[in-house]
Amino acid sequence: MDINIAPLLKQPLGTRLDLEVAESPIDPRGDNAGLLDASIVDIDAKFHATHTNPGPFFEGAADAHVAATCARCLKPIDAPVHADFAEQYYATIPVDTGVAVIAAPADAKTIGSDFTVDVTDLLREELILATPLAPLCREDCAGLCPVCGEDRNERPHAHDETTDARWSALQGLKDLTEK
Ligand SMILES: [Zn+2]
Ligand SMILES: [Zn+2]
C-alpha cells in the first residue's frame, strides 16, 4: 500500500500520522498482496509516521501469521510473528522550497519525487526479520521419531529394544577390540 507522505512533510516537525494495516486473510488482489511473497497470511499492524528533519520516521508494531512448517514434526503451521519496528526514511527532494534536504546515508530508505512510501514493503521486511528460523507447531512438539519417522505427537513411543540391541552389538564389538 503506497502512502503519500507529502501532506505530512508540509506539517510542522513532530506531526504524527497514524496508520493501520489489518487484513485476514490477505487478499491476493488487494493492497497488501505483496505480503504474500513472504508467506504472510494475515496482518494486524498499528504504527505511525512522524515528520522529522530527514523525512518520515515510522514506528510501531505488527502482528502476523506466516505459513511455515514445524521444525520438529514438519506439519504445516501458521506461525505467529510479532515485530516492533522503527525506520527512518530520508526525503531526497524537498517537499517545498526553502527546506534543506539532509543527505541520506548509503543504506538508508529514501523517498523520491513521488513522495510515496510503500508500507507493504516496510511491513514485509520487518516481519521477515522477526520470523523465527525454526518455528514449532507448539512449544512441546515431540517431533518425528528419528528411528521410524512416525509423528510422536500422534503416537508417543520409543524403540528401547531396537536401540538396546544395536548398542549391545556395538558394545560387543568394543569388547572384542579391547581384548
Ligand atoms: Zn510440530
Ligand atoms: Zn519410532
- The number of beta carbons lying within 10 Å of the beta carbon of residue 177 is 7
Whether 152 contacts 145, CB under 8 Å: yes
Residue 104's pLDDT is what?
Answer: 86
Tell me the CA–centroid distance for residue 155 and ligand 2, in Å.
9
For residue 138, the ligand closest to its alpha carbon is 1
Tell me the CA–centroid distance for residue 168 and ligand 2, in Å.
19
Tell me the CA–centroid distance for residue 148 and ligand 2, in Å.
4
Tell me the CA–centroid distance for residue 160 and ligand 2, in Å.
10
Tell me the CA–centroid distance for residue 81 and ligand 1, in Å.
17
Residue ranges of the domains in the chain? 2-130, 142-179
Residue 135's pLDDT is what?
Answer: 95
Angle at 29 between CA 45 and CA 88, to 5 degrees: 35
What string of pLDDT tens digits covers the 179 residues of the chain? Answer: 999 999 999 999 999 999 999 999 999 999 999 999 999 999 999 999 999 999 999 999 999 999 999 999 999 999 999 999 999 999 988 877 556 677 888 889 999 889 999 999 999 999 999 999 999 999 999 999 999 999 999 999 999 765 555 555 555 555 565 55
In this structure, which long-range contacts are made by residues 29-35, counting pairs with CB atoms below 8 Å and at least 24 apart in sequence?
31/1, 31/120, 32/1, 32/120, 33/120, 34/118, 34/120, 34/121, 34/124, 35/64, 35/120, 35/123, 35/124, 35/127
Tell me the CA–centroid distance for residue 156 and ligand 2, in Å.
8
Residue 12's pLDDT is what?
Answer: 93
pTM of the full structure:
0.81
Tell me the CA–centroid distance for residue 107 and ligand 2, in Å.
50
